[in-house]
Chains A and B, each alone.
Chain A
């Protein structure tokens, strides 16, 4: 009895396999890819997505469904992982060589770090980098470590000046301020002529970078292995930010939850200008009192005495080195699909995300998107960050410094000297101070 049953089962599965193969054959005919038959790729891949699960997650899942139309036998296990914990979670799992995802959406600063630890596949020589020149240079740079490329840019972003058009015109300001001095004047006008405040400066390291870049400063000089955080330029940049607050042009910020406070005030039209990135566009648009996208102005961050520029952020696709070699083809196919110009255009259209491919910006879906159009000059002015494995540790001391200077009235230069000491002791001991 048992034996016969088993025999039938074997037979059944054999026929099943046959019919599956037959189906695969038909698909192949329908698809025009000469080298690899998409249906012949069979694998199960886990992808940790760190995007906003509510606003962005569904669009990525739609993309996966599209991917599966071409690659029916590559199963993607989509798992949303909160951005804040993904970095440690991935490293813990990769270190234990168990439980890490095959593919991860990694923040730009994570890639050099993971790569230096040997947790990522080097992608050189694969199809993923075949058209490397198509990627925007600055976002792609974050994937390079020690002469190899470990990821493919998914999305890029940078800080911009976001403003409330209605409030600005009420104050008689016709175009967005282009320098910090103009920003100060505009703020004071807004404060005088409307019920709202002028600008909110978020006292956090990342959000102060435009002030420092504006004067020509930076965190470290990676080429010469030098810590330059305590430069005169940075001190001058901080002084500008501090003057905005002291003069009353900017709102007196809170030390805690200042980001949330900034966004609430902006959405309630209680503050006219903020410095923030494209990831907030969706939320601002949805705020009931704000007045939608029509009322949201986006301009490059104001310039200092040297230039105008915000830090480049964004996310990359990376592949875990612990993934078995036999899954490589499927993983490459998946990442290639997700980072293709068409997919990026799809995400632009749905979410207003900024593509990382030059060719994507030529597509209608991107060209006609107002948010993307507004942010494009912002991204072009973006300043690349030091892409070194230690980059993740730069912001802890910087955040402390921001509170000290902007809230506790500590002298900018003295506060920056402390940061430099910390960088030397704890972050990049090999660098010169």
Chain B
């Protein structure tokens, strides 16, 4: 029983940091405009497909293709905001939510039209070979360089994000917007620009997650964003939606709960265990692990 514990924790952690990376996109957008951007999972999927396309069609090297895909996904995120959410800024929240679901379906089918519905392997020839080699192996744990790469990239991106949010002007503007949109606008903050920037940032992070997942699992398919999106959304809620450190913690808790649930409870209840943990947290802390209790503005 116990010999499984360490490997399961590593499994959960790898899964968790990726959830965290996606969850950040949900939580940032929610923090700023109180919208659950259900199309975020599709941006994550587009990140993976664009990266592969840049490698195969344009011939970019791996790392450059990642950056290019991030840039494109940032544009997709901004475009989503522009066409789908901006016109509904003053509409009831439900309208924007349904639009988000619509955009999700649209993007998923668009990807099927462009790249087909068959799952594709990642272009392994473009991936530096050392990434797939075993870096560490001890007591039943096998860690590849890729896993370490995933941990490193995720940590770096999270720190970068925290820096942007807490130390820069635009980050301050984002936080101001999250507190009170009207007051922020009165202080001379360009609200639409800040919202667009938030979408761009979250989408770029989502793209990285999509690429890392498709390299790690060596598979990408148009519907990959759905389950990942749902899990990441649950992670964001678990951590406290609107809170960036909460999304990170939520992702990791959810990933580890899933791995331990499958290992020690029953693999049929793998997701069940993860969601049960989420529900238990929400019952005792309705605002999530690190969320602040907000007084409803209405």
Tell me whether A and B are bound partners.
no
